[in-house]
A = this chain, B = another copy of it.
Amino acid sequence: SRSLNLAVIPGDGIGQEVVAQGLKVLSAVLPQDVKLETREYDLGAKRWHRTGETLPEAELDALRHHDAILLGAIGDPSVPAGVLERGLLLKLRFAFDHYVNLRPSKLFPNTATPLAGRPEIDFVVVREGTEGPYTGNGGSLRTGTPAEVATEVSVNTAYGVERVVRDAFARADARPRRKLTLVHKNNVLVHAGHMWKRIFDKVAEEYPAVTTDYLHVDAATIFFVTQPERFDVIVTDNLFGDILTDLAAAVTGGIGLAASGNINPTGEFPSMFEPVHGSAPDIAGTGKADPTATVLSVALLLRHLGHEAEAVRVEEAVAADLAARGESRPGPEGSAGGSLRTTDEIGDALAVRVAG
Contact = CB atoms under 8 A, between A and B. Distances in A.
A222 B116 CA distance: 16
Q: Which of under 10, 10 to 19, 20 to 34, or 35 or more describes the interface residues of A? A: 35 or more
Given A82-B188, A85-B187, A85-B188, A221 B243 contact: yes
A155 B148 contact: no
Going nearest first, the 9 A-B pairs with the smallest beta carbon separation are A218-B246, A222-B334, A148-B158, A82-B190, A221-B247, A116-B116, A150-B191, A222-B250, A152-B154
Interface string A133-154: 1100111101111111111111
B157 A149 contact: yes
Contacts of A117: 114, 116
Interface string A151-190: 1111111110010000000000000000000000111111
Interface stretch (A20-28, A40-48, A192-200, A262-270): A192-200
Given A148-B195, A150-B195, A243 B222 contact: no
Contacts of A146: 158-159, 162
Contacts of A242: 185, 188, 217-218
A82 B114 contact: no
B154 A154 contact: yes
Copies in the complex: 2
A287 to B, nearest CB: 22
Contacts of A219: 246, 333-334
A318 interface: no
Residue of A90, A155, A185 with most partner-chain B CB within 10 A? A185
A283 interface: no
Nearest to A156: B150
Nearest to A157: B149
Interface in A15-71: none
A233 interface: no
A246 B226 contact: no
Residue of A113, A143, A221 with most partner-chain B CB within 10 A? A221
Residue of A134, A162, A188, A247 with most partner-chain B CB within 10 A? A188
Contacts of A151: 137, 153-156, 191-192
B193 A82 contact: yes
Contacts of A115: 114-116, 225
B239 A251 contact: no
A211 interface: no
Contact of A82 (B113, B147, B186): B186
Contacts of A75: 187
Interface string A114-130: 11110000000000000
A299 interface: no
Contact of A154 (B90, B133, B333): B133
Contact of A134 (B134, B138, B188, B247): B188
